[in-house]
């Protein structure tokens, strides 16, 4: 593993934590080991496709680790269960946007309905800023999708990260987190009153529960036409970006969407 990969793999809060007495080999092994004890206030560096690859490797290692004897001692128990039950690839799904009132990272209100997106295709994930397990990997996927869509050009797309922990995720905290991970103006970060957030999550098929138990999930949809795809797990950013391009074209989406999204 090269130096750059090790740099992205480490939580930032541990970047300068190597004792001076360690040998070079010991330091290398310590930096390469995934840590589940990262400072919850400092998310992993997830910018671009390299960040996605590293986060995916980190998550795979964490989920492959033996389960703890008690479920409440294993931060990945709910994630393993969701991934085990998930279908392969994307599946078509129905979403009815509920018109809930949420808050953007700058505090402005946004009504979650089709009019909020116009004719744009939206990519949605579900995270919380204190998360140190699966959320950094999901955010890495979104970051890589953002990079890909920016390279493709066009203005008919939108990314959206919706908090599953509105009690702690204030607009100010969402703004600080979004800034750290390089979110651009086409990547919205939404939170709000608990009742409004929970209604929003149910509309996307995210069950109520503790924030740390939420399933890893990404949706791509065209709210104006009602066409939606859902991945449970960690989709490849290239697949997600391809789904965005397909849903821009109704004829292609109808004939090729399911096949290409896989």
Domain ranges of the chain: 3-84, 85-261
Assign 80 a pLDDT band (cuts: 50, 70, 90).
low
Average pLDDT over residues 45-64: 49
pLDDT of residue 107: 96
pLDDT of 64 > 80? The answer is no
pLDDT in tens, 172-231: 999 999 999 999 999 999 999 999 999 999 999 998 788 888 889 999 999 999 999 999
pLDDT of 167 > 60? The answer is yes
Nearest to 129 by CA among 79, 169, 167, 170: 169
Q: Is-contact 34 60, C-beta < 8 A?
A: no
Nearest to 242 by CA among 257, 230, 227: 257
pLDDT of residue 250: 61
Q: Helix, strand, or coil here: 248?
A: coil
Given the candidates 3.40.50.300, 3.40.30.10, 3.30.565.10, 1.20.900.10, the CATH classification of the domain at 85-261 is 3.40.30.10
Q: Which residue has the higher pLDDT, 43 or 243?
A: 243
Q: In the structure encoding, which two tokens stand for residue 250, read together?
A: 């109704």
Q: Is-contact 198 111, C-beta < 8 A?
A: no
Q: What is the spatial distance between Cα 149 and Cα 244, in angstroms, rounded to a whole number?
A: 9
Q: In the structure encoding, which two tokens stand for residue 6, read together?
A: 């090790």
Pick the most confident of 38-52, 73-87, 114-128. 114-128
Q: Which residues contact 36 (CB under 8 A, 6 or more apart)?
A: 62, 75, 132, 133
pLDDT of residue 74: 55
Q: What is the spatial distance between Cα 148 and Cα 250, in angstroms, rounded to a whole number?
A: 21
Q: Where are the alpha helices (DSSP H) in the chain?
A: 3-9, 24-32, 48-64, 77-85, 135-152, 171-180, 194-203, 237-247, 250-261
pLDDT of residue 215: 84
Q: Which residue has the higher pLDDT, 164 or 39?
A: 164
Assign 116 a pLDDT band (cuts: 50, 70, 90).
very high
Q: Is-contact 128 220, C-beta < 8 A?
A: no
Q: Tell me what the pLDDT averaged over the chain comes to.
A: 76
Nearest to 63 by CA among 41, 36, 31: 36
User: Nearest 10 degrees: CA dihedral of 238, 88, 125, 242?
Assistant: 30
Q: Which residues contact 115 (CB under 8 A, 6 or more apart)?
A: none
Pick the most confident of 11-15, 80-84, 90-94, 212-216. 90-94
Q: What is the spatial distance between Cα 251 and Cα 254, in angstroms, rounded to a whole number?
A: 5
């Amino acid at each position: 593993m090269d130096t750059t990969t090790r740099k992205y793999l480490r939580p930032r809060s541990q970047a300068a934590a190597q004792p001076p007495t360690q040998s070079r080999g010991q330091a290398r092994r310590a930096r390469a080991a995934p840590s589940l004890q990262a400072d919850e206030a400092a998310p992993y560096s997830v910018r671009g496709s390299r960040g996605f690859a590293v986060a995916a490797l980190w998550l795979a290692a964490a989920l492959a680790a033996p389960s703890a004897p008690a479920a409440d001692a294993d931060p990945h128990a709910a994630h393993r269960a969701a991934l085990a039950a998930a279908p392969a690839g994307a599946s078509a799904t129905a979403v009815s946007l509920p018109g809930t009132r949420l808050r953007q990272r700058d505090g402005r209100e946004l009504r979650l309905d089709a009019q909020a997106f116009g004719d744009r295709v939206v990519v949605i994930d579900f995270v919380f800023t204190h998360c140190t397990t699966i959320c950094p990997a999901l955010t890495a996927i979104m970051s890589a999708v953002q990079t890909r869509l920016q390279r493709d050009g066009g203005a008919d797309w939108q990314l959206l990260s919706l908090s599953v922990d509105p009690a702690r995720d204030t607009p100010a905290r969402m703004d600080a987190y979004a800034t750290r991970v390089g979110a651009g103006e086409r990547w919205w970060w939404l939170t709000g009153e608990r009742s409004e957030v929970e209604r929003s999550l149910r509309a996307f098929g995210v069950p109520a529960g503790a924030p740390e138990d939420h399933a890893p999930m990404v949706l791509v949809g065209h709210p104006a036409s009602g066409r939606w795809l859902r991945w449970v797990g960690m989709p490849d950013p290239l697949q997600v970006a391809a789904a965005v391009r397909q849903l821009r074209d109704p004829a292609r989406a109808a004939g090729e969407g399911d096949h290409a999204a896989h």
